[in-house]
Amino acid sequence: MALPKIQQPLYNYTLPVSGIDITFRPFLVSEEKILLAGKEGDPSQQLNAMEQVIGNVVQEDINLDELTMVDIEMLFIQMRSKSVQNLVKLKYRDTEDDQEYDFNVDLDTLEPTITENRNPVIDLDGNISMELKDPTFGVFKRLGLDMLDEMDTEMILKMISGCIVSVWDKETVYDSFSEKDALEFLQGMDTKRFEKISEYFEGVPKLKHTIEYENSKGSKRKIDLEGLADFF
């Protein structure tokens, strides 16, 4: 005789950047194994595992490639909260007193940092301008970028190259180009022009949370958590 099927509850969540309303169920034991296996693999395997599990649990048909990374991160936070538990235990060693401290982070209280009224059009020098977009899941997947680790300069340049929508001067609009062309365009910039692009990406929505505590020496300390990897 077959065993009864376990009915899973459904939860509603509005993605913070795109504003899309979604319905999802908790991920199953088999899907948690997929995530763990992906976490131990390379960046491509990590993203494929997340895409597979999100595609399984979300009830709507949504294009993950078009979602910003913070939408993906916040969705995953919600999935983790409802599938396992909302409290995550973290350990950190204080660099002043060399003591280890335990903290509990409530996933349900996390909200991304969003800068309002950002302008995606960058005037580089009065002659050349460009339009940018925020990094999406599709950009990270296509370029094999690591969303669970800090990116080096080469990876940052690759990410930005995937976020260029168009470039134009007084005569021509360039909106059909390869990511190799975009990367060479960025590498050929001087620091002054590149800083204007960097300012735009500094305002990209981020998953951030600050833990404040007092160490054994009485010093006020804080830990800044940023990105999905810092919470797990």
Distance CA 97, CA 74 (A): 34
H or E element in which residue 21 lies: strand 21-24
Q: What is the pLDDT of residue 153?
A: 86
Any idea where the domains of the chain sit in the sequence?
Answer: 11-86, 115-202
Please give the structure tokens belonging to residue 64. Answer: 């993950």
Positions in the chain whose pLDDT score sits under 70: 148, 232
Q: What is the pLDDT of residue 37?
A: 83
**This prediction's pTM:** 0.88
CA–centroid distance for 167 within its chain = 25
Distance CA 230, CA 212 (A): 15
- Residue recorded with tokens 């969003």: 114
- Residue recorded with tokens 């509990």: 104
Distance CA 144, CA 52 (A): 16
Tens-digit pLDDT profile for residues 134-148: 999 999 988 888 776
Q: How many CB atoms lie within 10 A of CB 11?
A: 17
Q: What is the pLDDT of residue 121?
A: 97
Instruction: Report helix angle 43-57 to 69-83, nearest 10.
Output: 60
Q: What is the pLDDT of residue 148?
A: 67
> Please, are residues 187 and 109 in contact by the beta-carbon 8 Å criterion?
no
